[in-house]
Chains A and B, each alone.
Chain A
Amino acid sequence: MAEETRERVLSIRDLDISFDTSNGTMNAIRGVRLDLYKGETIAIVGESGSGKSVTAKAIMGIMAKNQHINGGSIMYSYTDDEGRKETLDITKMSEDEVRKTICGKHIAMVFQDPMTSLNPTITIGKQIMEGMVDHYHYSKEEARKKAIELLDDVGIVDPEKRFGQYPHQLSGGMRQRVVIAIALACNPDILICDEPTTALDVTIQAKILNLIKDLQKKKDLSVIYITHDLGVVAQVADYVAVMYAGRIVEKGSVDEIYYDPRHPYTWGLLSSMPDLSTNTPRLFAIPGNPINLLNQVKGDAFAARNPYALQLDFEKQPPMFNVGGKHRVASWLCHPKAPKVEMPHSLRVKIDNMLKEVNAYGKQ
């Protein structure tokens, strides 16, 4: 895709979010910078507590009572009904404003657990219609027709019959399809999927991921995936951002992240998950536990768990280094003057095997 034709829909700059807790202030997001272009998919990867969900919710304007945005901006660009280009800063808007103008209509979200994100006392048809009636003032007849179309789009067989059913009458995979249909009801530009398949089985997971992919192509959506499953990321994403302790530590295209990872945390993530060819006696495990953000972070947050950490990592926060292409890494190891450090041997072997597999496919 050529650079000029890419249309930026979302740009997050230096986002900084903290929570007041009884134990002090927790700095959950510490300067996140991220861009999303039309029709593309970006995946935010990280373990729990790394701030990926907080980032996503901030985009939707969902704020906890004790949450503060200390700085930064989330610029959302769209074309309004009359064809004019508009740009809004979501962080500057009130929660009410975001809910009325952005949520659903422009940015929609699919949550992790389809069991809890649907209302058990309302039929699924009504739940899909709700947004359309609210945002677009559709008549009931119109909304019903559109809802049945949507159910058909997300691959639900016999949508007319399902329209009048309650969530408990559907299986987990079907419920997630309904949640996706609700998200798409108001023709959003951006779809945020927060761990959309974690609660589902592998076989159903594959189907849901394919569905989101197909819908994305059909409706020209930009998608943000939030997940900790690197297998899922490899299937769906164009770009990947790896988060740790409220910062993006490495980002780039999927190929750059999977075949040429540079940050020791990414090395750890990639080597700790077994693939089908793993037969070493021990899995590689990242030592220690995630950092507690209640404490002031000095230097690189990952330094304490990082066997390759330099003295500088403990003292000064590394900036984003450009290592070519779209690949950015926040580690002092990428400084031109840093000592050369190679990724762990086992990971090197793993990546070589991956490339071999790709070559084998390419020849077929």
Chain B
Amino acid sequence: MASSEILLEVKNLKQYFRTSRTYTVKAVDDISFNIFRGETYGLVGESGSGKSTTGRAIIRLYDPTGGSIRFRGHEIAGNLTKDEKADLRNNMQMIFQDPMSCLNARKKVIDIVGEGLDAHHAYSSKAERKEKIIRILEKVGLTEEQATRYPHQFSGGQRQRIGIARALVMQPELVIADECISALDVSIQAQVVNLMRDLQEEMGITYLFIAHDLSMVKYISDHIGVMHNGHIVESGTTEDIFSSPLHPYTQSLLSAIPEPNPEAAKYKKHVHYNAKEMGVDYTKGKLWDVSESHKLLATEEEYSKWCRKH
């Protein structure tokens, strides 16, 4: 599915927030990763690890403090001209976490989904606008008759479909899905994930999938980056991360996944990890290539220690 063409290249991205004269939060501190066209890149980590900030910095809801973001070969981290901005909004879209609060309650579905089209004058007649909207609604499994309803008339799963339709109506190349299924019920999660996969195959969309549910991330992603305290501590293919995790934080994260197997759960041991206690300082480490795809953030000493065990 994924090609070898790099769609998004993030290099040394920094996103700091200055909260007071003396204190700056380093939400994202020097991270680099590549996303290939047509693949799904999963970004995992605990809350406060900076994964959502990364997503928002890429789509330029924030102004990055430093580093470069190259999207389709163009630099988008610095100041953007009006045209560049319009181009970026056309080709990169976001699906938000909470389908209850991210839709304007006073607008009909048809207008919520059509807002992007309106802003970019992406149609020549009213009929064309409607046709475009209905086509995308049908793709996500809603009917034409439902288009004139308001968000509160839909269930959680349906609302998330509207959120997906709103993102896809612009025919973006990259969709940033920020915890887009964690607010949904289990039985509905599977429906939405299947839908996202189908649309990816059909339209060749690339996803940046931000989540903390590791079993879902494993299921949907081709590549995974594990974030902690603003750093990507380990990245690689899904296979690399899940079958040979090297960083103790990754190991701790994997051991914490609740498995739906009551007898096996009794034997499972949780791996404890605390960066401070273990004396791990991410700013001192550098990225090591464990294999062609597998990268690990560590100092020289840590690298030899963690890799020897395997």
User: Quick check: is B186 within 8 A (CB to CB) of the other chain?
Assistant: yes
> What DSSP secondary structure best describes chain A's contact surface?
helix
B187 near A269 (CB under 8 angstroms)?
A: yes
User: Quick check: is A203 within 8 A (CB to CB) of the other chain?
Assistant: yes
A203 near B252 (CB under 8 angstroms)?
A: yes
B197 near A231 (CB under 8 angstroms)?
A: no
Bound together, the chains give a CA A290 to CA B187 distance in angstroms of: 10
Given that A203-B252, A289-B155 are contacting pairs, would A258 and B186 also be in contact in the complex, using a CB cutoff of 8 Å?
Answer: no
Bound together, the chains give a CA A204 to CA B274 distance in angstroms of: 12
User: Quick check: is A78 within 8 A (CB to CB) of the other chain?
Assistant: no
In the complex, which residue of chain A has the Cβ closest to the Cβ of B217? A274
Residues in A with CB closer than 8 Å to B219 are 274, 278-279, 283
User: Quick check: is B46 within 8 A (CB to CB) of the other chain?
Assistant: yes
Question: Residue B190 contacts which of A204, A255, A258, A286 (CB distance < 8 angstroms)?
Answer: A286
Question: Residue A202 contacts which of B46, B188, B242, B273 (CB distance < 8 angstroms)?
Answer: B46
B253 near A273 (CB under 8 angstroms)?
A: no
- Contact residue range for chain B? 35 or more
A273 near B193 (CB under 8 angstroms)?
A: no
Bound together, the chains give a CA A3 to CA B47 distance in angstroms of: 44
Residues in A with CB closer than 8 Å to B190 are 272-273, 283-286
Bound together, the chains give a CA A282 to CA B196 distance in angstroms of: 11
**Chain A's nearest CB lies how many Å from the CB of B64?**
25
B156 near A235 (CB under 8 angstroms)?
A: no
A235 near B189 (CB under 8 angstroms)?
A: no
- Contact residue range for chain A? 35 or more
**Chain B's nearest CB lies how many Å from the CB of A240?**
9
Question: Residue A354 contacts which of B47, B185, B187, B264 (CB distance < 8 angstroms)?
Answer: B264
Given that A229-B258, A234-B265 are contacting pairs, would A276 and B242 also be in contact in the complex, using a CB cutoff of 8 Å?
Answer: yes
Given that A274-B216, A275-B215 are contacting pairs, would A201 and B47 also be in contact in the complex, using a CB cutoff of 8 Å?
Answer: yes
Given that A289-B157, A357-B261 are contacting pairs, would A201 and B215 also be in contact in the complex, using a CB cutoff of 8 Å?
Answer: no
Mark interface residues in A324-364 (1 if CB within 8 Å of B CB, else 0). 00000000000000000000000000000010011001001
A254 near B258 (CB under 8 angstroms)?
A: no
User: Quick check: is A67 within 8 A (CB to CB) of the other chain?
Assistant: no
B270 near A235 (CB under 8 angstroms)?
A: no
> What DSSP secondary structure best describes chain B's contact surface?
helix
Residues in B with CB closer than 8 Å to A232 are 258
User: Quick check: is B267 within 8 A (CB to CB) of the other chain?
Assistant: yes
User: Quick check: is B218 within 8 A (CB to CB) of the other chain?
Assistant: yes
In the complex, which residue of chain A has the Cβ closest to the Cβ of B220? A274
Mark interface residues in A248-286 (1 if CB within 8 Å of B CB, else 0). 000000110010000000001110111110110111111
Question: Residue B270 contacts which of A201, A206, A233 (CB distance < 8 angstroms)?
Answer: A206
Bound together, the chains give a CA A358 to CA B262 distance in angstroms of: 9
Q: Which of A145-201 contact B (CB under 8 A)?
A: 172, 201
Tally inter-chain residue pairs, CB-CB below 8 A: 130
User: Quick check: is A230 within 8 A (CB to CB) of the other chain?
Assistant: yes
User: Quick check: is B191 within 8 A (CB to CB) of the other chain?
Assistant: yes
Given that A204-B46, A258-B261, A357-B261 are contacting pairs, would A272 and B256 also be in contact in the complex, using a CB cutoff of 8 Å?
Answer: no
In the complex, which residue of chain B has the Cβ closest to the Cβ of A206? B256
Residues in B with CB closer than 8 Å to A281 are 197
User: Quick check: is A47 within 8 A (CB to CB) of the other chain?
Assistant: yes
Residues in B with CB closer than 8 Å to A286 are 187, 190-191
Given that A284-B190, A285-B191 are contacting pairs, would A203 and B260 also be in contact in the complex, using a CB cutoff of 8 Å?
Answer: no
User: Quick check: is B212 within 8 A (CB to CB) of the other chain?
Assistant: yes
Residues in B with CB closer than 8 Å to A276 are 214-215, 218, 242, 257, 259
Question: Residue A235 contacts which of B194, B212, B253, B265 (CB distance < 8 angstroms)?
Answer: B265
Residues in A with CB closer than 8 Å to B215 are 231, 273-276, 278
**Chain B's nearest CB lies how many Å from the CB of A256?**
10
Bound together, the chains give a CA A201 to CA B273 distance in angstroms of: 14
User: Quick check: is B263 within 8 A (CB to CB) of the other chain?
Assistant: yes
Bound together, the chains give a CA A206 to CA B309 distance in angstroms of: 25
A210 near B265 (CB under 8 angstroms)?
A: no
User: Quick check: is A205 within 8 A (CB to CB) of the other chain?
Assistant: yes
Bound together, the chains give a CA A110 to CA B131 distance in angstroms of: 49
**Chain A's nearest CB lies how many Å from the CB of B287?**
23
A203 near B253 (CB under 8 angstroms)?
A: yes
B261 near A47 (CB under 8 angstroms)?
A: no
Residues in A with CB closer than 8 Å to B214 are 202, 276
**Chain B's nearest CB lies how many Å from the CB of A22?**
13
Q: Which of B226-273 contact A (CB under 8 A)?
A: 242, 252-253, 255-265, 267, 270, 273
B46 near A203 (CB under 8 angstroms)?
A: yes
In the complex, which residue of chain A has the Cβ closest to the Cβ of B219? A274
B185 near A48 (CB under 8 angstroms)?
A: yes
Question: Residue B46 contacts which of A201, A228, A283, A354 (CB distance < 8 angstroms)?
Answer: A201
Residues in B with CB closer than 8 Å to A278 are 215, 218-219
Given that A274-B215, A285-B194 are contacting pairs, would A358 and B263 also be in contact in the complex, using a CB cutoff of 8 Å?
Answer: yes
A to B CB contacts below 8 Å, 6 in the list = A202-B213, A234-B261, A255-B263, A273-B186, A278-B215, A357-B261
Residues of B near any A CB (own CB < 8 A): 46-47, 155-158, 185-191, 193-194, 197, 212-216, 218-219, 242, 252-253, 255-265, 267, 270, 273
